[in-house]
């Protein structure tokens, strides 16, 4: 080490720096560099070192990484949209139009919309790549199952977001989707076996207690449906998907890193 420390080195060896970055100081050895990753709450999910072949674009397509990148874009643009959008029948559509046409950088709505489409595509392609490279095999089979849950959650986020513009496309898409929920076996009022869940004459699965009702919050699409989908889309599903994403990323590292034979 040189006798004369420059400003950057002084800063890096100072108390403020050391208190923020555990392990302290500027990493000067391989070991210290490793500790920087291990000691950071954000970085520790990521592997400390990556084999060169594992990050070949030809092999991974970077589809998992892209899915996460798009998820971040969707989170940020989605939070911005929430500053203008009101989830009521009276305002939803006009707020969406206002966002598109009057709000500066209203392209935020298009970014969110196209990002949502893109994320569904990248998640599918990621699954396809993992399948084709056999990366679902033990010890990665648990992470494959987590991945399937993440796919379902992505599709549910897509489905709940579909209703929010409250235009004709949205309403009829959800009309179709929720009627399908009404045809759920056992739990849908119009599905097969719904009459089985009954005690005597009291039927537990009716129009006001079946899967469709739980989804749309009423017997018909309306105010309750819009609010229910809004809360699920903005809070409920993102909260759940983030937990599963954390497990997914952590397991990639624990199960031998990305696309490395184990």
Partner 1 sequence: MPDNKKTATITPSGPAPAALNIADTGSEVSRRSFFSWLSLGWLAFVAATGGFFTMMLRFFFPNVLFEPVQTFRAGYPDDYTVGEVDLRWKVKYGVWMVRNDEGIYALSTTCTHLGCTPNWQPTAKKFKCPCHGSGFRITGIHFEGPAPRPLERFKITLADDGQIIIDKNTKYQQEKGQWTDPEAFLKV
Query: 3-state secondary structure string, 77-106?
Result: HHHHHHCCCCCCCCCHHHHHHHHHHCCCCC
Candidates 50-58, 97-105, 218-226, 245-253: pick the segment binding partner 1 (CB under 8 A): 218-226
Rounded to the nearest whole angstrom, what is the least distance from the CB of residue 24 to partner 1 in the complex?
Answer: 11
Q: List binders of partner 1 among 167-186 (CB under 8 A).
A: 172, 175-176, 179-180
How far is it between the farthest Cα atoms of the chain? 90
Candidates 49-57, 97-105, 154-162, 208-216: pick the segment binding partner 1 (CB under 8 A): 208-216
What distance in Å separates the CA atoms of residue 257 and residue 262, rounded to the nearest whole number?
A: 9
What distance in Å separates the CA atoms of residue 13 and residue 258, rounded to the nearest whole number?
A: 35
Q: Quick check: 227 binds partner 1 (CB under 8 A)?
A: no
- For partner 1, the binding residue among 27, 106, 218, 256 (CB under 8 A) is 218
Backbone phi and psi for residue 148, each to the nearest 5 degrees, phi listed first: -65, -40
CA 121 to chain centre: 13
What distance in Å separates the CA atoms of residue 255 and residue 88, rounded to the nearest whole number?
A: 46
Mark 126-165 with x for binding to partner 1 (rule: CB under 8 A) and - for no binding: ----------------------------------------
Contact positions vs partner 1 (CB under 8 A)? 23, 35, 172, 175-176, 179-180, 208-209, 213-214, 217-220, 222-224
């Amino acid at each position: 080490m040189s006798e004369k420390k420059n400003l950057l080195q002084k800063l890096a060896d100072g108390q403020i720096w050391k208190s923020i970055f555990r392990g302290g100081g500027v990493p000067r050895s391989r070991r210290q560099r490793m500790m920087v990753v291990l000691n950071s709450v954000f970085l520790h999910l990521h592997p400390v070192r990556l084999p060169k072949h594992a990050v070949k674009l030809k092999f991974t397509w970077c589809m998992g990484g892209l899915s996460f990148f798009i998820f971040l874009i969707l989170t940020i643009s989605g939070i911005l949209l929430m500053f203008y959008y009101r989830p009521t029948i009276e305002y939803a559509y006009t707020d969406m139009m206002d966002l598109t046409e009057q709000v500066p950088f209203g392209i935020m709505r298009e970014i969110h919309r196209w990002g949502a489409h893109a994320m569904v595509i990248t998640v599918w392609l990621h699954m396809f790549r993992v399948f084709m490279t056999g990366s679902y095999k033990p010890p990665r089979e648990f992470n494959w199952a987590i991945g399937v849950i993440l796919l379902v959650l992505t599709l549910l986020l897509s489905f709940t977001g579909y209703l929010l513009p409250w235009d004709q496309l949205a309403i009829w898409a959800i009309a179709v989707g929720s009627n399908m929920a009404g045809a759920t076996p056992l739990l849908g009022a119009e599905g097969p076996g719904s009459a089985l869940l009954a005690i005597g004459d009291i039927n537990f699965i009716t129009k006001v207690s079946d899967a469709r009702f739980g989804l749309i919050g009423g017997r018909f699409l309306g105010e309750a449906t819009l609010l229910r989908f809004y809360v699920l889309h903005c809070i409920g599903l993102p909260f759940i998907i983030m937990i599963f994403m954390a497990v997914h990323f952590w397991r990639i590292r624990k199960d031998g890193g990305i696309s490395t034979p184990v």
